[in-house]
Amino acid sequence: MQTLVQIFALLMILATVTSFFNHKVWWVRMFDFPRIQIALLSMMLLFAYLFMRYSSLNLVDLALIILLFVALFIQAYHILRFLKIFAFEIKSASNKDPELKLSILISNVLMTNRKPEKLLLQIQKFNPDLICFVETDYWWQDQLEHLKKSYPYHIDVPQDDTYGMHLFSKLELHNPDVRYLIEKDIPSIHTEFKLGSHLINACLIHPKPPAPNEAWTSKKRDQEILLMAEVIRKTQEPFILMGDLNDVAWSGTTRQFKKVSGLLDPRRGRGFFNTYNAKNPLLRWPLDHVFVSHHFQLVKMKRLKSVGSDHFPILIVLTIP
């Protein structure tokens, strides 16, 4: 038992140390993701040490206990600000004028998922103004075709490589555009629309994750996210950036994006809203994001039920006071 605790303690410490390395290779950046899990395991290991007889502990155990406390503090520093005991980054709505309310549903459908019924039922139930899909191929485009009756404004970018995307809107889209910001096969959707008298800028992105079967490093993912930060920084109008960023809310890249762009995270002080992995309750973190400018207030944000994808959909309702 004691040896097992020592092994797991060492693993948690090494995982925490590795996350500090300023290297973009996937096996380093992967430790940005499971900070919640590492923090919880570190706490469990400290409790395990608490119940061991003091006489059985040696210098190795004492060193591991100290380092576990340090690891727990580091992990907590990254994730605690999302808990409900902390301050909101975006105020709760004071004005719920329906003319200035905007509801958005975002879903990574999982391209190989061939059961669209649950997702379509959620769209029918929540009736959002804007729907954003990623990982949509030509088959998914056919399944979503009937939405165009209720959502006459749309941008279709089907791809058979898990990087397709579709945007459907009840609001008229102005200057809709599909751009390939960093890689020629990774699209992003850019558009504007009116909410009351306000012109809103919106962008949907889905960069490649750092993973052995996708991208060996996070370099291009980070470039796309930070390129958008520079674009947003130069924009005075209200802005919404959304999508599966294949990065977590507490990563260095996300923090840099927020610092440069000035956009805010509605999850701060409200919860993690872990959208991935819907198929594994033990390994979940927030990959699907909505960042908004200071013009907005939050009416509601909700992680929806599973739709057969490896991501949960997200529903967010915003307003401009």
Distance, CA of 248 to CA of 229 (rounded, Å): 16
% of the chain surpassing 70 pLDDT? 99
Residue 159 lies in a domain: yes
In this prediction, residue 50 carries a pLDDT of 83
93 domain residue, yes or no: no
Answer yes or no: is 180 within a domain: yes
Say if residue 48 is in the same domain as residue 104. Answer: no
Judgement on whether residues 170 and 211 belong to the same structural domain of the protein: yes
CA atoms within 13 A on the CB side of 48: 19
* Residues 153, 271 within the same domain: yes
Q: Is a pLDDT exceeding 70 seen at residue 54? A: no
Predicted confidence (pLDDT) at residue 173 exceeds the cutoff of 70: yes
The single-letter DSSP state of residue 98 is G
185 CB-near residues (< 8 Å, 6+ apart): 159, 161, 163
Beta strand 188-195 with 173-179: parallel, antiparallel or unpaired? antiparallel
Residue 77 lies in a domain: yes
Is it the case that residue 55 has pLDDT exceeding 90? no
Average pLDDT over residues 81-99: 91
Where does a domain end: 48, 82, 116? Answer: 82
Task: Give the pairing of strands 101-108 and 314-319.
Answer: antiparallel
Peptide bond into 213 cis (omega under 30): no
Asked if the structure places residue 267 within a domain, the reply is yes
12 and 159 co-located in one domain: no
Place of tokens 């020629």: 184
Q: What is the mean pLDDT of residues 184-212?
A: 97
What 3-state DSSP class applies to 81?
Answer: helix
108 and 68 part of one domain = no
254 and 178 both lie in a single domain: yes
Q: Is the pLDDT of residue 268 over 90?
A: yes
Q: Are 140 and 268 in a shared domain?
A: yes
- Quickly count: other Cβ atoms within 10 Å of residue 94's Cβ: 8
Structural domain count, the chain: 2
Report yes or no on 90 lying in a domain.
no
- Residue 87 domain flag: no
- Confidence check: pLDDT of 75 > 90: yes
| Strand 239-244 relative to strand 288-292, pairing | antiparallel
Residue 173 sits in the same domain as residue 60 = no
Q: Is residue 58 located within the same domain as residue 139?
A: no
CATH number assigned to the domain comprising residue 113:
3.60.10.10
Same domain? For 36 and 102 the reply is no
Rounded CA gap, 124 and 108, in Å? Answer: 17
CB 263 within 8 A of CB 293: yes
- Separation between Cα atoms, residue 308 and residue 60, nearest integer Å: 46
Q: Do residues 32 and 247 touch, judged by C-beta distance below 8 A? A: yes
What pLDDT digit, counting tens, does each position of 142-165 carry? 999 999 999 999 999 999 999 999
The predicted structure's pLDDT at residue 119: 98
Of the residues 16, 48, 82, the one at which a domain ends:
82
Domain assignment of residue 142, given as a range: 98-319
Q: What is the pTM of this model?
A: 0.94
Separation of alpha carbons 143 and 230, rounded Å: 36
Which residues lie below 8 Å from residue 102, measured CB to CB, with a gap of 6+? 129, 130, 195, 200, 317, 318, 319
Helix residue spans in the chain (DSSP H)? 2-18, 26-29, 35-50, 59-79, 117-126, 138-144, 219-233, 252-261
Same domain flag for 40 and 152: no
The distance from CA 9 to its chain's CA centroid, rounded to whole angstroms, is 28
In whole angstroms, give the CA distance from residue 284 to residue 19: 17
In a domain, residue 92? The reply is: no
Longest dimension (CA), the chain: 73
Same domain, 125 and 57: no
Out of 30, 58, 82, a domain closes at 82
